[in-house]
Structure 1
Amino acid sequence: MPLLPFMGTTPTIDSNAWVAPGASVIGQVTLGPQSSVWYGCVLRGDVMPIVIGARSNIQDGSVVHVTRKLAATTIGDDVLVGHMAMIHGCTLMDRAFVGLGAIVMDGCVIEPDAMLAAGAMLTPGKRIPAGELWGGRPAVFMRRLTEAEIARNRAGAAGYVELARLHRESQA
């Protein structure tokens, strides 16, 4: 797994986190306990920091970056970022969900238990309130998430913690 320094700053990876072989983590990146970065991801904290909390996952092929002199990227605890997502200079609060292939642009905020649908594009500065589902290009409010959907999303984050553990052990 390439953990690459940039301008004297090396990524900080918790000892209980897992970064898949083939992922690239560069510069000012902090990865919290039991979080995971999957195959083919790029996390490039070269000009601003990227901070990822506990038990969050960045799934295969996703890119996480920042906006120079404007916006770091902060990802809270128990966050699901689906395959091939683009996360750029934004905030994903605890238990946020970003669907497969979705784009979250500069200055956006996804609040707790909120979801951006697969393939959606959240344009700069937009905010998804807690418990809402947004979708489309550009993304707009679709509906409130049900309690069952919120529970399923929360279980998904826990499932990725276990899956990362199994991958880590199988490669040891």
Structure 2
Amino acid sequence: MTTRSGVNIIPIHGKTPKIHETAFIAPGCTIIGDVEIGAGSSIWYNCVLRADVFTIRIGERTNVQDGSVLHCDPPRPGDEDGSPLVIGDDVLIGHMAMVHGCVIHDRGFVGLGAIAMNKAVIGSDAMLAAGAMLTEGKVMEPRTLWAGRPAKPMKELTDAAIAGMRMGVAHYAENAKHHAEAVHEALGKG
């Protein structure tokens, strides 16, 4: 196990997390196994990314907010493809979300406390509302809002709503730089 400014990075089964040098990983996070995190992405305080049984791939400028849990499922008989977790670029994942073995396309949004389950798909510019549960195999079309438990389509998102999500991505990218500096100063490390 290695520690990067209060982050637990744990290799397992011969797989070590690969984190781009420009990614911000907040103290208190635990990142395990076959995880890749792209340039400019941010993983906020006390998140767990556990790729001990399959893969987690996170694109560029994506943020995973405080307390979220990310996991995947392995291939097995009857499900040879398994359920890797694939997250695109410019994705917003809200606080305390649980994202498991699904696909989130570029600019997708997962609200506070929402759950996305195995083989679910969140389309580009689509929003899973706070507290919603996207059940296994459900596919959200691009530019749609889904809400509820289980989540169901509610409406098509407006250009203004999509612009708001993009502003959120820009905010988190900038805020991550400030937090990286603050962590550096607080912990006295580079």
Coarse TM-score class (shorter-chain normalised) = over 0.9
Q: Which amino acid aligns with 1:135?
A: A
Q: Which amino acid aligns with 2:69?
A: V
Q: Which amino acid aligns with 2:63?
A: N
Counterpart-to-counterpart distance in 1, 2:87 and 2:163: 19
Say whether residues 1:160 and 2:166 are aligned partners: no
Q: What residue number does 1:22 align with?
A: 28
**Distance apart, 1:8 and its partner CA:** 1.6
Q: What residue number does 1:38 align with?
A: 44
Superposition pairs of residues 8-157 of structure 1, within 5 angstroms: 8-69=14-75, 70-157=82-169
**Distance apart, 1:158 and its partner CA:** 1.1
Counterpart-to-counterpart distance in 2, 1:32 and 1:156: 18
* Higher-Rg member (1/2): 2
SS in 2 for 1:143: strand
SS in 2 for 1:2: strand
Q: Which amino acid aligns with 2:124?
A: P
Point out where structure 2 has 5 or more consecutive residues left out of the alignment. Answer: 1-6, 76-81, 185-190
Aligned length: 172
Point out where structure 1 has 5 or more consecutive residues left out of the alignment. Answer: none
**Distance apart, 1:7 and its partner CA:** 1.3
Q: What residue number does 2:188 align with?
A: none
Q: Which amino acid aligns with 1:99?
A: G
- Flag as ranges the 4+ runs of structure 1 deviating above 2 A: none
SS in 2 for 1:171: helix
SS in 1 for 2:36: strand
SS in 1 for 2:154: strand
Counterpart-to-counterpart distance in 2, 1:155 and 1:27: 32
Counterpart-to-counterpart distance in 1, 2:21 and 2:173: 14
